[in-house]
Amino acid sequence: MGTVSILDGLERKLITDSLDAGRRADGRALDEPRKITIETGTIPKAEGSARVRLGKTEVVTGVKVNPSTPFPDTGDKGALICTAEIAPLAHPDAETGPPSEGVIELARVVDRGIRESHMIDMSKLVIQRDVSVVGVFADNAVLDDCGNLFDACSYASCAAILDAKMPTWEMVDGAPKMVEGASSELPISTIPVSVTMGRIGRHIIVDPDATEWMCMDARITITTNSDGNICALQKGGREGFSFEQLASCADTAIAVGAKIRSTIESSKQRS
Amino acid sequence: MGGRESDLVLLNSDGIRCDGRKIDEPRRISIKAGVLNNANGSAYIEFGDNKILAGVFGPRDVHPKHQSDSNTGILRVRYHMQPYSVPERKRPAPSRREIEISKVIKEALLPAVILESFPRTAVDVYIEILQADGGSRCAALDVAAVALADAGIPMRDMVSACAAGKVADTIVLDINNEEDQAGQADMPIAVMPNSGQITLLQLDGILSTSEYKKCIETGLVGCKLVYELQKKALKERYFGGQGS
Amino acid sequence: MPPADKLCTIHNYTNRRKAGPDMSKQVFPGDELSSIEEYAAGYGAYDDGQSVRASIIGQSVLNSQERVIGSSGPLVPVPRPGDTVIGEVAVTLSSRLIVTIRFVNGRRVTNNVECVLSTRNIRMRIVALAGDVMVLKIVSILNGNIHATVDEPQLGVLFTKCRRCGLGVITHRDAVKCAECGWIDDRKLSSEFGQSGFVKAQ
């Protein structure tokens, strides 16, 4: 551990004393995520959108679906780009200007969960092979940073992708032309759900809030798909996990993830 | 402001505009104050199809230090559009348009804020456009002023903004996106309602001198409507919506 | 309603009375409170040369004895004279300390504003070390700086470390003694040294 200020140390002691007594400062069980609320269609002008609140953390994600030129080696697949930004109004320490390494990691972890789970069947997003494909952009904006942005952005991206309506294009004179009035949903094959866990001393907690996030020794984000398989992982933080801890984290991610998956699925049915 | 040819009827013979409004009727406006947890003050506005969030931090320490002033606090404003806020995905880096709008909004707010008792500090106003429609700078300014008041930043006055413009040779209140594209003039206006000082004024398009005066007068009527809604939002937050 | 800690009370005014239902009203920035002949502008008000006007949203507050009128409303994170602050010593200089403010009247603030504590008149080798947590009272805002004092028993160092080995200390009469190496050192201690009740889970 690096140098910790006296105040940070006092705050950490408050958290660990509470965990040693078997409870969290906000009264949650160790494996209990904060309340999740999902609204879809928040940004009607985007093809898909969702506003997600995970406790006090809030993310708004918009999905844009546009024809794009394929990469030379993947002319038989559509393109997916998932970004994340912590808006400067989200936290006093959030900065304007180029993204920090933490924000880049956030975007890549969210992107990896969706990409590696093959949530969207990219082979169905081809307008004309090697010439024009469908590009899906999911842009996450964190508007209130109260801890665990990985999961909040991941749920918001999934809900916005499920909400998205894809226009239909046909090739006219070598260029894609939108067919009026014809749209469909994106081809979805599975719903990836990330569960981030933090280790504070010997305790492992699901969905750390802002104060817990500051005190964590290590964290792990485990993304599982609808079949209950693990499809993406990211370990972070200044310390490590034991093998036994990681094995139990996977079980937690699958169990907690299954409940969250049904919340995400029902957000689509409501809209 | 191209006055572009199109099939769109901007104003019909009954004086009804393309979205069904009368010439002196603003779009639907709703404002809510105190919507964020971390910011010192915040507000959210829906102004037509604009959906805009503003957060205020400060007075706080200034980085970089050389910007700080030992006689007064400084005001900084950032107007930023989300990539999904416009029909064609916008790249996340700030455009020249966003930088200019940030500056005019800052200069529209500066006469109102009283920062002399906070030397060497900054008040940061961050505006995020979640969905853009015509008149987004006025809506952004309206929500920023509410967020400043919510943060307890001392202000000489509120700042209330609304656009007026010229559509089908008629001066109308509160230009929407279609009217902005196909109309003849768009004039955003901001005023400090108690003092009557106009702190933002821009024009895109061509007006005669008499139209120019009529356009300002029309815009000021819209500002007055916005001012009442700004006070209503603050009242709901601080007095639970009860009458005085 | 906003959280109670966002609403301020004007504790600087003696004999303050919240004006009766006929007098106290909800005010918004720019609202006229009185003419300048009647009242002077207090906290939450300003004078535009003709009228006293509210500068913050709130309930108008009248001090009829001192002929001052103002408004109570949301608090900014910058302290005012009379406020008690808790902060971390950022820099120690020969005749003053710079302290980064973390709490104002018990309220956590994140704006990293600093205050200055003059140590010129404190007859002590070491008042506080960089990194120490101190409780101070704000006395003035002068020439762009916020000035604080420790000249009361409950003001001074709340938490510190041994200057030699960096470990925890215990009080030793008016000084501190390292629990590990026994080194004895001066500090301007608060009577509440070691109490951490101000730290709360957010």
Residue closest to B187 by CA, chosen among B160, B209, B166: B166
B142 part of contact set with chain C, CB < 8 Å: no
Q: Who wins on pLDDT, B153 or C181? A: B153
pLDDT surpasses 80 at B45: yes
Specify the DSSP element, H or E, that contains B101: helix B96-109
Indicate the residue of C26, C29, C141 with minimum beta-carbon distance to B155: C29
When computed from its CA atoms, the radius of gyration of chain A, rounded to whole angstroms, is 20
Query: Going by C-beta distance under 8 Å and a sequence separation of 6 or more, which residues neighbour residue B208?
Result: none
Q: What is the largest CA-CA distance in chain B?
A: 60
User: Which of C1, C76, C145 to probe the B interface (max B CBs under 10 A)?
Assistant: C76
Bigger pLDDT: A143 vs A174 = A143
Q: A11–C102: do the CB atoms touch at under 8 Å? A: no
Taking CA atoms, B76 is separated from A86, A225, B79, B153, B188, in Å, by: 18, 44, 10, 13, 21
Contact B36/A at CB under 8 A:
yes
Q: Could you tell me the residue range of the domain that residue A170 belongs to? A: 18-270
Query: β-pairing, C156-159 with C133-142?
Result: antiparallel
Whether residue A215 lies within 8 A of chain C, CB to CB, comes out as no
Q: What is the pLDDT of residue B241?
A: 54
**What would the mean pLDDT of A94-123 be, rounded to a whole number?**
95
- CB proximity A254 to C under 8 Å: no
Are residues C72 and C59 in contact, defined by beta-carbon separation less than 8 angstroms?
A: yes
The helix/strand/coil state of B214 is: helix
For residue B214, pLDDT beyond 50: yes
Pairing of strands B50-61, B198-201: unpaired
Q: Which of B236, B54, B75 is nearest to B136 (CA)?
A: B54
Hey, are the CB atoms on A5 and C201 less than 8 Å from each other?
no
Amino acid (1-letter code) at residue A260: I
Q: Is B49 on the interface with A (CB under 8 A)?
A: yes
Q: How does the average pLDDT of chain C come out, rounded? A: 87
- Going by the DSSP 8-state scheme, the letter that residue A69 receives in this structure is P
Question: Which residue type does B58 have?
Answer: G
Question: What fold characterizes domain C84-185?
Answer: OB fold (Dihydrolipoamide Acetyltransferase, E2P) (2.40.50)
Q: Could you give the CA distance from residue B167 to residue B3 in angstroms, rounded to a whole number?
A: 9
Query: Is position B20 within any domain?
Result: no
pLDDT at B5: 53
Alpha carbon of A232: minimum distance to chain C alpha carbons (Å): 31
List b or e across B169-182, with b for residues whose CB sees 16 or more CB atoms inside 10 angstroms.
ebbbbbbbbbbbbb
Task: Kindly report the CATH number assigned to the domain that includes residue A162.
Answer: 3.30.230.70
Q: Which residues in chain A have Cβ-Cβ distances shorter than 8 Å to C200? A: 14
pLDDT at A112 over 90: yes
pLDDT reported for residue A22: 87
pLDDT score, position A270: 61
Question: How much is the pLDDT for B244?
Answer: 43
Q: How many domains, in total, are found in chain B?
A: 1
**Strand ranges (E), B85-168:** 121-131, 160-167
**Contact indicator for C27, C60 with CB cutoff of 8 Å:** yes
| Interface check B226 vs C, CB under 8 A | no
CB atoms inside a 10 Å sphere around CB B53: 29
For the domain that residue B65 is a member of, what is the CATH number?
Answer: 3.30.230.70
Whether B62 is in a domain gets the answer: yes
Phi, psi of B51 (to 5 degrees): -130, 110
ipTM score of the complex?
A: 0.94
Select the residue of A46, A83, A145 nearest B92 (Cβ to Cβ).
A83
Residue A214 lies in a domain: yes
**Residue C114 — φ and ψ, nearest 5°?**
-110, 155
In a domain, B78, yes or no: yes
Name the 3-class secondary structure at A82. Answer: strand
pLDDT attached to residue B123 = 98
Residue A12 forms part of a structural domain: no
A162: in domain = yes
pLDDT band at B131 (very low <50, low <70, confident <90, very high): very high
Using CA atoms, how far apart are residues A178 and A167, in angstroms rounded to an integer? 7
Contact A60 B82 (CB under 8 A): yes
Residue B220 within any structural domain of the chain: yes
Report strand pairing: B121-131 vs B50-61: antiparallel
User: Could you tell me if residue B7 is inside a domain?
Assistant: no
Contact assessment for residue B180 and residue B86, using Cβ atoms and an 8 Å cutoff = no
For the beta carbon of residue A130, count every other beta carbon within 10 angstroms. Answer: 12
pTM: 0.93
For chain C, where do the domains classified as CATH 2.40.50.100 start and end?
4-72
Determine the 3-state secondary structure of A215 from DSSP.
helix
Report if residue A80 sits inside a domain. Answer: yes
Pick from C1, C4, C58, C6: nearest CA to C28? C58
Q: Point out the residue among A11, A18, A210 whose CB comes nearest to the CB of C199.
A: A11
DSSP state of B112: T
Domain count, chain A: 1
Full residue range of the structural domain in which residue B83 is found: 29-239
C-beta of residue C147 within 8 angstroms of C-beta of residue C141? yes
Question: A98: number of CA atoms within 13 Å, CB side?
Answer: 1
Answer whether C156 touches B (CB < 8 Å): no
Percent of chain A with pLDDT over 70: 98
Taking a C-beta distance cutoff of 8 angstroms, is the pair A201, A217 a contact?
A: yes
Pairing of the two strands C68-72 and C45-47: unpaired
Res B243: pLDDT: 47
pLDDT score at C127: 94
Which residues of chain C does CATH 2.40.50.140 include?
84-185
pLDDT in tens, A58-91: 999 999 999 999 988 999 999 999 999 999 999 9
Query: Using CA atoms in the order A167, A171, A176, A178, what is the torsion angle rounded to 10 degrees?
Result: -30
> Lowest mean pLDDT: which of B141-155, B213-227, C65-79?
C65-79
pLDDT band at residue A163 using 50, 70 and 90 as cut-offs: very high
Which uninterrupted H or E stretch holds A66?
Answer: strand A57-68
Quote the crossing angle between the two packed helices B136-150 and B96-109, to the nearest 10°.
Answer: 50
Query: End-to-end alpha-carbon separation of chain A, Å?
Result: 47
Tokens of A83: 């970004």
pLDDT mean across residues, chain B: 94
Phi, psi for residue C126 in degrees, rounded to 5: -130, 120
In a domain, A2, yes or no: no
**B158 → closest Cβ in C28, C113, C144:** C28
Q: How far is CA C127 from CA C97, C160, C190, in A?
A: 9, 11, 11
DSSP-assigned states of every residue in C7-34:
B----SSTT-B---TTT--EE-TT-EEE
Q: Do the domain assignments include residue B5?
A: no
Closest by Cα among B198, B201, B195 to B155: B195
Q: How many CB atoms are located within 10 Å of the residue A240 CB?
A: 11
Distances (CA, A) of A68 to A80, A118, A125, A128, A130: 11, 20, 10, 11, 11
- CA gap C178, A200 in Å, rounded: 28
Yes or no: is domain C4-72 CATH 3.40.640.10? no
Please report the DSSP string for chain C in residue order: ---GGGB----SSTT-B---TTT--EE-TT-EEEETTT-EE-TTEEE-SSEEEE-SSEEEEEETTTTEEEEE-BPPSS--TT-EEEEEEEEE-SSEEEEEEEEETTEE--S--EEEEE-TT---S-S--TT-EEEEEEEEEETTEEEEE--STT-EEEE---TTT---EEEETTEEEETTT--EE---B-TTTT--TT----
Contact A146 B38 (CB under 8 A): yes
> Cα separations (Å) of A265 from A55, A61, A163, A191, A193?
19, 16, 10, 8, 11
pLDDT at B17 over 80: yes
- Residue C23, pLDDT score: 63
What the block records as the tokens of B238 is: 């601080």
Residue B78, chain A, CB below 8 Å: the answer is: yes
Distance CA A255, CA B41 (A): 39
Report whether pLDDT(A238) > 80: yes
Strands A36-40 vs A48-54: parallel, antiparallel or unpaired: antiparallel
Neighbouring residues of C22: CB distance < 8 A, sequence distance ≥ 6: none
pLDDT in tens, C132-155: 999 999 999 998 899 999 999 999
Q: Which chains touch B (3 or more CB pairs under 8 A)?
A: A, C
> Does position A108 have pLDDT exceeding 60, yes or no?
yes
Q: Determine the residue of chain C that is closest to B231 in CA distance.
A: C28
Q: What is the pLDDT along chain C (202 residues), one digit of tens a residue?
A: 444 444 444 333 333 444 443 467 999 999 999 999 999 999 999 999 999 999 999 999 998 888 999 999 899 999 999 999 999 999 999 999 999 999 999 999 999 999 999 999 998 989 999 999 999 999 999 988 999 999 999 999 999 999 988 888 988 888 899 988 989 999 999 999 999 999 986 6
**CA distances in angstroms from C92 to C88, C125, C126, listed in the order given:** 11, 12, 10
CB of B59 closer than 8 Å to CB of B40? no
Chain B contact set for C78 (CB, 8 A):
59, 118, 121
Q: CB–CB of C76 and B119 under 8 A?
A: no
Q: What is the mean pLDDT of residues B20-43?
A: 97
Local confidence band at A269 (pLDDT 50, 70, 90 cut-offs): low
Residues A218, A240 contacting (CB under 8 angstroms): yes
C111 CB within 8 Å of a chain A CB: yes
C81 preceded by a cis bond (ω within 30 of 0): no
Q: Do C26 and B239 touch (CB under 8 A)?
A: yes
Q: Are B54 and A89 a contacting pair at CB < 8 A? A: yes
